[in-house]
Amino acid sequence: MSDNAAIIRGIYDAFLRGDITAVVAAMDDQIEWNEAEHVTSWRGAPFIGPHAVLTGVFARLPQDFDNFSIEILRMVAAGDTVLVEGRYRATARATGKPLDAQVAHVFDLRDGKIVRFQQYTDTWQFAQVTGITPDP
């Protein structure tokens, strides 16, 4: 496993342990974090900086979902880029409906820190299970 893949694996492990402080510590001060268009936390523009990611993405998860998790199915490192395929699983708090959505993440790293993140996921399923359709 490459160093960058090991860093990303460690971030997922920290997330699953609930150690969001460790996840945020792995981010560059100017990280550009892109949620999939029209997913519940999408706001029509990237989140810039760890604090924006923390408040705009991670703080929302327990508001919208119970038992949110990600299962990593495959991870591929290509230099400073790490590609991840997986599945999100959770229960929507508003409706009680289960989420079981395919997801892909693209991480760009520099000097061991995440400088850019892009999420791709089943936004239709997010809207169906939460009843939330975000405005751009």
Query: Is residue 136 a part of any domain in this protein?
Result: no
Domain count of the fold of the chain: 1
Domain membership flag for residue 135: no
- Please check whether residue 110 lies inside any domain of the structure: yes
Q: What is the pLDDT of residues 33-77, one digit of tens each?
A: 999 998 888 888 999 999 999 999 999 999 999 999 999 999 999
* Residue numbers of the domain that contains 18: 3-130
pLDDT given at position 84: 98
Short-list 104, 58, 47, 52, CA closest to 81: 104
pTM for the complete prediction? 0.93
120 burial (CB, 10 Å; 0-12 / 13-18 / 19+) is: middle
Residue at 61 is within a domain? yes
Q: If pLDDT is split at 50, 70 and 90, which confidence band does 133 have?
A: confident
CATH of the domain at 12: 3.10.450.50
Question: What pLDDT, in 10s, does the model give residues 4-27?
Answer: 999 999 999 999 999 999 999 999
Q: Is residue 14 part of a domain?
A: yes
Instruction: Look at residue 43 and tell me if it is in a domain.
Output: yes
Give the ranges where the chain is alpha helix by DSSP (H): 3-17, 20-25, 50-53, 61-64, 123-130
For residue 94, being part of any structural domain is answered with yes
